[in-house]
Amino acid sequence: MKIVYLGIDVGSSSLKFALMDKEEQLVDSLYLKNHGLINTVKQGLKQILNENYDVRGVGITGSGRKFLGMLIGADKICSEILAHATSCLKYCPDAKTIIDIGAEDNKAILFNDGYIENFIMNSMCAGGCGQTLEMIANRLGVQIEDVGELACKSKNKLNISSKCGIFMNSMVVSHRNLGQSNEDILMGVIRGITTPLCFPKCKCKK
């Protein structure tokens, strides 16, 4: 039997499972859309675990961490920002900034000399977060997985503000009606989403 440690990230739109062995190497991982927390976790655990694994510890992060941690008796529950920062400092110690586009909140984490200096998150409204990006991609007929690759082919710079998801959507519609390409629109949306994270309060380092 192989000794493994299980990590679960309980996000609002998706769940991620990861198995790690004693040498801190990734054994297996799984990404599932969130169709109701309990059912998705059941399905995920069935898929990722089998008789060959001996799970010695469980760590949970994400917005649903408290609830799921209580259900499956987690050994470690911590917020996603700390989880990102700890793993990033371990595997990529020279990093200065992490930007995480979640479904309902965006975060930028800033490092200084191997510890977290500051972090910035969107305030109360979740307009201009990952869910908006997914919605706009669906509207343009693009799968969310292909957005990054497609946006990199952009040639023209479009200004799309990210103050509100509804306004963003209407700007996308007007750009589309003017005949702009999907690549330019998607790049504009991504730029709109990331600009408030980098400017002006949290100066991300290159």
Partner 1 sequence: MSSNFVDGERKMKPQDRIVTFPLMGKKNSKIIKDFLESLDLKVIMPPLTTDETIKKGVKHTAGMICYPLKQTLGNYMEALDKGANTLLAYDTIGLCRFRMYNQLHEFTLTGLGYDFDIVVMNPGNLVSKLKEVSGKNKITILRKLYSSYKKLKESNLQQWSEDKPNIGLIGEVFCLNDEYANQNLKGKIRHYGCNSFNTVTQLDFMHTTIPLFNLWGLKDLFKKDELKKYKERAKKYMNGWRSGHAYENLYNLMWLIDKKVDGIISVAPLSCCPEVTIEPYVDKICKDSKIPLLRIGIDENQSPANFETRLETFCEILKMRYKK
Nearer to partner 1, 2 or 203 (CB): 203
Question: Can you tell me the distance from the alpha carbon of 74 to that of 58, in angstroms, rounded to the nearest whole number?
Answer: 5
Phi and psi torsions of 17, nearest 5°: -115, 140
Q: For 104, which DSSP code?
A: S
Question: Can you tell me the distance from the alpha carbon of 141 to that of 182, in angstroms, rounded to the nearest whole number?
Answer: 9
Task: By CB under 8 A, name the one of 81, 186, 193, 197 that touches partner 1.
Answer: 81
* Beta strand pairing call for 76-77 and 53-61: parallel
Nearer to partner 1, 78 or 140 (CB): 78
Does position 66 interact with partner 1 (CB under 8 A)? The reply is yes
DSSP string, 105-126: -EEEEEEETTEEEEEEE--S--
Task: By CB under 8 A, name the one of 79, 97, 169, 194 that touches partner 1.
Answer: 79
Nearer to partner 1, 119 or 167 (CB): 119
Does position 64 interact with partner 1 (CB under 8 A)? The reply is yes
Does position 165 interact with partner 1 (CB under 8 A)? The reply is no
Question: Can you tell me the distance from the alpha carbon of 130 to that of 100, in angstroms, rounded to the nearest whole number?
Answer: 9
Q: Is the dihedral of CA 134, 140, 141, 144 positive or negative?
A: negative
Binding mask 89-128 for partner 1 (x = CB under 8 A): ----------------x---------xxxxx-x-xx----
Task: By CB under 8 A, name the one of 5, 19, 80, 186 that touches partner 1.
Answer: 80
| Sites of contact with partner 1 (CB under 8 A) | 63-64, 66, 78-82, 105, 115-119, 121, 123-124, 201
